[in-house]
Structure 1
């Protein structure tokens, strides 16, 4: 039967519930950023509002966040980081910086008045050392009210990684571990060197709030006895009896855990922790991380358990702790080939080595920088599939997470959001 619906010739019926966007958000964004560079519907931006000296070699920078940042991020976990884009002499640089504290947490060096609390709800803070081109610029040259593009907070140097790591290990060893026990009862050891203390500021407090027993060891070249950092740790120790901290001045033998200033197996054993059950978070220089992995390999645990499996490192600013690129190549030489799908491009390639190299060999161009796992320029989102970090040996979960293509290999078929 012929359709007698009254329609003008050539028209297409409008889908139910469809509302056309007569003015594109990108156009509004273009106009708004011309009116004020801090306004944006789509690009997270930060405006520098304050600088605070935390110690002789650590400065905190406080940023106001724009509406796009608020809408795209629902806060962050302790230990998370952001990627800042900084233009210096016409060249755009991108650097990763750990966030200080937790969302809406009044920073301990402020007066705690109502103005500070209101400002804290609209800001985030990083802490950096005055070294390197970008960090020196931020501390010494960037004027207050300077605006920077930013990513939203991300990273796997968080409490959530405890359950991921231990569940993966339990699968490998054919054992069962209850998630609730992992999250609530695992003792935590935080080891930091110098400015590697930054992600610990939020991670430690969040762990204590969740009921973990936490031990902190901070190696530094200067004394922290009268710094705002010392005040913060003392406040936490007073509030949480389950928190213990050691501030190691590498120039003062009276502060050493053992007879040496260096991190060693004896140092770990001197803490009197149940190491087999302790989750270790570490952030610091290449030498510190290498020393930690070496010390962990010297400690014998029951049931052939390796202490190295308990270590989570934040290494976005540091090189490989105890491997080099030739080692990584050897470790990927005999891996089985898997298919990697680039979802946004609707392309795929076979991979038995690092994702970045194999994509390039298949004629696919991907973002990269240092190609050593340091600069974060190759970081992307993994939608599904399991990958292995060739630097640390860490095996990922099968779900959505952020990875670096230059240092990860596919253990199953993988889908990347590229």
Structure 2
């Protein structure tokens, strides 16, 4: 008698198809969100609160108790008959009240377990639609929480509560909202350095609350148009402003998120400090970034807003039996050769461009690290070829 494989009498996909016709929010397999509220966080940042369906909760909480601070969601939004996908940072942690909320009663606390909140900067087609046009109760498909910009994915010594420095520019603060809360709850000393041009009333209230509860939390809000807020008299991030924080930088883990100019300034600052003090700070940096400009890791400020280029190498797509020459990111080089590769955010966040490298060495333009020469998974939007490369595409 044959045992083992048992075909499904009724396919889950068929059940999903019928169920979606009866109730579009219901699904066995597809995580979905339903918009329930909007909250202004600053002049140019909106928080969107969503109810989650059963598939989202089942898949998100399957392996861990909740998502991690610093993670994001890939939303699939239908606008004028066309689906668009974008990544948005999750605000806060699961099962915790949001600081601007007055949900203190038992019923609200119970319903909060079934919600997730993201932060949106209203710019561009999709973000504007989400922040200003999409009706309440609208339903969108989503991924489960994703991303490695978390405490869990770092090499923090579990026996030592390393000092943590969070450096954000503008809306780069959004993935840090949950991260900072989580770090303080664990017991890490936390310092926040946030550069912004806009009013931050709701966010500043959050930092004040955390400062009242946790004596190990220090924050600096740098308004780039207000000299009284500058550190060491510096308008932008520099070696002087970092040393003015009086942190043990050699033992401090730095989380950074912001524009490429901010990140380039950070790498330049830590390089100057390393030269003066004989310590290596570059490996202490964990980056989440956005924008299309890419930092120059050799510190040439004239190249901050240009795409990185190297000596041209040949990239071979094994499955397609096609090849092209590349002296920039693999994704851009393929598109210049009229070859279409999968992509999403084009910023190294969403993972949709990830593929397998069969051989060759590539360089990650976010971290500056070189890969090994063998088989591994890479992202084409943030890697450049340093030798001839074979991709399993």
Do both share a fold (TM > 0.5)? yes
Q: Cα distance, 1:44 vs. partner?
A: 1.2
Q: Deviations over 1:225-263 (max 9, x none)?
A: xx2212211121122111111111222211111213211
**TM-aligned CA deviation for residue 205 of structure 1:** 1.0
Distance 1:97 1:210, change over 3 A: same
- Provide the C-alpha distance between the structure 2 equivalents of 1:287 and 1:302, rounded to a whole number of angstroms: 23
RMSD: 3.8
- With the length of structure 2 as denominator, give the TM-score of the two structures: 0.82
Query: Which of 264, 268, 279 is 1:290 aligned to?
Result: 264
| Cα shift at 1:114 | 2.2
Q: Which residue of 1 aligns with 2:210?
A: 236
Seen in structure 2, the aligned counterparts of structure 1 residues 316 and 61 have a Cα distance that, compared at 3 Å, is same
The aligned counterpart of 1:33 is 20
Quote the residue 1:23 is aligned against: 10
* Aligned with residue 149 of structure 1, among 137, 141, 144: 141
Equivalent of 2:88, from 97, 115, 125?
Answer: 97
Alpha-carbon deviation of 1:69? Answer: 1.1
Please name the residue that 1:367 is paired with.
342
Alignment gaps of 5+ in structure 1: 1-12, 167-178
The superposition leaves residues 5-62 of structure 1 with CA deviations (integer Å, 9 ceiling, x where unpaired) of xxxxxxxx4x325433110111111111111211111211111111011222221100
* Distance across 2 between alignment mates of 1:132 and 1:66: 27
CA distance in 2, matches of 1:376, 1:35: 31
Cα deviation for residue 267 of structure 1 reads 0.6
Measure the CA separation in 2 of the matches of 1:260 and 1:113.
46
Q: Counterparts of 1:375 and 1:309 in 2: how far apart (Å)? A: 20
Q: Counterparts in 2 of 1:13-412, with a 5 A limit?
A: 13=1, 15-74=2-61, 75-111=66-102, 112-163=104-155, 179-181=157-159, 184-224=160-200, 227-300=201-274, 304-317=278-291, 319-322=293-296, 328-330=308-310, 366-368=341-343, 373=347, 376=350, 378-380=352-354, 388-394=363-369, 404-408=379-383
Q: What CA distance in whole angstroms lies between the structure 2 residues aligned with 1:302 and 1:71?
A: 51
Find the aligned partners of 2:344 and 2:116 in 1 and give their Cα distance: 27
Q: Residue 359 and residue 128 in structure 1: after superposition, are their counterparts in 2 closer, same or farther (change >3 A)?
A: closer
Per the normalisation by structure 1, the TM-score is 0.77
Give how far 1:374 is off.
6.0
Alignment partners' CA distance in 1, 2:122 and 2:307: 33
Consecutive unaligned residues of structure 2, counting only runs of 5 or more, are 297-302
Contact 1:378/1:406, CA 8 A, preserved across alignment = no
1:7 corresponds in structure 2 to none
Secondary structure at 1:216 match in 2? strand
1:143 deviates by 0.6
- 1: CA distance, partners of 2:17 / 2:27: 8
Give distance in 1, aligned partners of 2:83 and 2:266. 34
Change (3 A) 1:156 1:382: farther
User: Quick check: 310-319 or 300-309, which moved more?
Assistant: 300-309
Q: Indicate conservation of the 8 Å contact 1:320/1:373, yes or no.
A: no
Counterpart for residue 169 of structure 1: none
Question: Offset of 1:309 from its aligned partner?
Answer: 2.1
Alpha-carbon spacing, 1:86–1:228, altered in 2? closer, same or farther (3 Å): same
Partners of 2:32 and 2:232 lie apart in 1 by 46
| 1:381–1:243 Cα change, 3 Å | farther
Q: Distance in 1 between matches of 2:189 and 2:356?
A: 32
Deviation at 1:158, TM superposition (A): 0.8
